[in-house]
Structure 1
Amino acid sequence: MRSMLIAPFCLTALLGACAEMGTDVDPILDGPPNAQFQSDLSACRSLARSQTQLDHETLAAIVLGAGIGGLLGEADEGDALGGALAGAVAGAAAGVAGAADTREAVVLNCLRGRGHAVVN
């Protein structure tokens, strides 16, 4: 029963701790930044922050992790619930990492769209 209380807390903490992931990218420019660069970077980071981390891909990773964890937990120790909870946390971590990559791409593509020569 205790593990049932810990898993939602872990998921919430993971998503909260990763709120800025992907938006703090420091782009490499091909040439010096122009006067508008800092303003555009701030706006692009704000746009990236508006992209939710708890999207359908993250939810799918949580469900898949829970399913695999439940099967492994049952087969190994007879604890399907504990395995499912551990798998859900692992799936959430993977989903959040993917969302961070998406946010980073948003920042870089936004800057490119505003005319900045972004290399990475």
Structure 2
Amino acid sequence: MKHLIVLPAVLAVTACADSGANYQPILDGQPTVAFQSDLAACQSLARNQNQFDQETIGAAVLGAGAGAVLGEVDDEGDALGGAIVGALAGGAAGAVNANERREAIVIECLRGRGH
């Protein structure tokens, strides 16, 4: 039963994994002629930062380990349930962090190109 609850959460986290790279800034004024091509290039740069994905996996693994330990220590908890919850929490936090970092790359890249 726990696996049926966990699967939608895992799918939701992975569905958002690329949202930071798809950031669309709000401009104050008209975009320059080169803006769309620069935006596409900056989004591609942000999307290709694979180290963020590895950090998210690492956060999920650490969360699973911590959750398993806490679940085992808790009188009414279990290690598997704690590991699942910990992995979800760690993975979600890692995904949010990766998205924020990808969004920052898009913004700084566009600034560097004069936008």
Question: Percent identical across equivalent pairs?
Answer: 57
Q: TM-score, normalised by structure 1?
A: 0.75
Q: Which residue of structure 1 aligns with residue 87 of structure 2?
A: 88
Structure 2: gaps of 5 or more residues: none
Q: Render the CA deviation track for 1:16-42: whole Å, top value 9, x for unaligned.
A: 312431022222345432111111111
Consecutive aligned runs of 4 or more in structure 1 exceeding 2 Å deviation: 2-11, 13-16, 28-32, 75-78
d(CA) in 2 for partners of 1:28, 1:6: 37
Tell me: CA distance 1:96–1:105, structure 2 relative to 1, closer, same or farther (3 Å). same
Residue by residue over 1:45-77, the C-alpha shift from the partner in whole angstroms, topping out at 9 and shown as x without a partner, is 12211122422x323311221122112211222
Q: Is the 8 A contact 1:14 1:93 kept in 2?
A: no
The two structures, once aligned, show a CA RMSD in angstroms of: 2.5
Q: Could you tell me which runs of 5 or more consecutive residues in structure 1 were left unpaired when the two chains were aligned.
A: none
Instruction: Specify the alignment match of 2:16 in structure 1.
Output: 18
What is the alpha-carbon distance in structure 1 between the residues aligned to residue 28 and residue 8 of structure 2?
43
Letter aligned with residue 15 of structure 2: A
Structure with more of its chain in helix, by fraction? 2
Equivalence map 1:65-76=2 (5 Å): 65-76=63-74
Q: Following the alignment from structure 2 to structure 1, what is the Cα–Cα distance between the partners of residues 77 and 97?
A: 31
Which one is further off, 93-102 or 67-76?
67-76
TM-score (norm 2): 0.78
Which of 43, 46, 49 is equivalent to 1:45?
Answer: 43
